[in-house]
Amino acid sequence: MKPRCAKAELKHQVAVWAERLEVDVNTVAVRSMRTKWASCSTEGNLTFNTELLGFDEAVRNYVIVHELLHFFVPNHGRLWKSLMRAHLGPYEDLDLELRRQHGRARSQEDDSRSAPPPSLSSLGSR
Ligand SMILES: [Zn+2]
């Protein structure tokens, strides 16, 4: 499947959110990862899964904001959830949509088998 979004576009999307959320992002990388949608380090280095390029913009926003908020809140606790809701609205729907789009992409591939779906990382607990 041809990606609908270029890497540069995703990086731009990250830069826009980073500015909005006032997060100091050091580097943004886009590469294929088997087990994660995205990861962030305390040094401000973000990595996003190339598979996201084929997903809807709203789903990418969810992953981007999810990771960027971990710069403030290293877990998925109450504060993190309220920030997510403040920026994205009912983000739980986007989480479901992420899984749905992943499942759809997988069903178009041959090597789907039973690989576990990637997960979202969090700063503190990986
Ligand atoms: Zn997380």
**How far is the centre of ligand 1, averaged over its atoms, from the C-alpha of 109 (Å)?**
27
Q: In angstroms, how far apart are the furthest CA atoms of the chain?
A: 42
Give the model's pLDDT for residue 121: 65
Q: What is the pTM of this model?
A: 0.86
Q: How far apart (Å, rounded) are the C-alpha atoms in residues 47 and 25?
A: 11
**How far is the centre of ligand 1, averaged over its atoms, from the C-alpha of 75 (Å)?**
6
**How far is the centre of ligand 1, averaged over its atoms, from the C-alpha of 125 (Å)?**
9
Q: How far apart (Å, rounded) are the C-alpha atoms in residues 36 and 66?
A: 13
Q: How far apart (Å, rounded) are the C-alpha atoms in residues 60 and 47?
A: 13
**How far is the centre of ligand 1, averaged over its atoms, from the C-alpha of 67 (Å)?**
6
**How far is the centre of ligand 1, averaged over its atoms, from the C-alpha of 47 (Å)?**
13
Give the model's pLDDT for residue 40: 87
Whether residue 13 contacts residue 61, with contact meaning beta carbons closer than 8 Å, is answered with: yes
What are the backbone dihedrals phi and psi of residue 29, each rounded to the nearest 5 degrees, phi first? -120, 145
**How far is the centre of ligand 1, averaged over its atoms, from the C-alpha of 9 (Å)?**
22
Give the model's pLDDT for residue 117: 74
Q: How far apart (Å, rounded) are the C-alpha atoms in residues 103 and 90?
A: 21
**How far is the centre of ligand 1, averaged over its atoms, from the C-alpha of 122 (Å)?**
4
Task: Provide the residue-wise pLDDT of the chain in tens; the chain has 126 residues.
Answer: 555 679 999 999 999 999 999 999 999 999 999 899 999 888 899 999 999 999 999 999 999 999 999 999 989 999 999 999 999 999 999 999 999 999 888 777 655 555 677 888 654 433
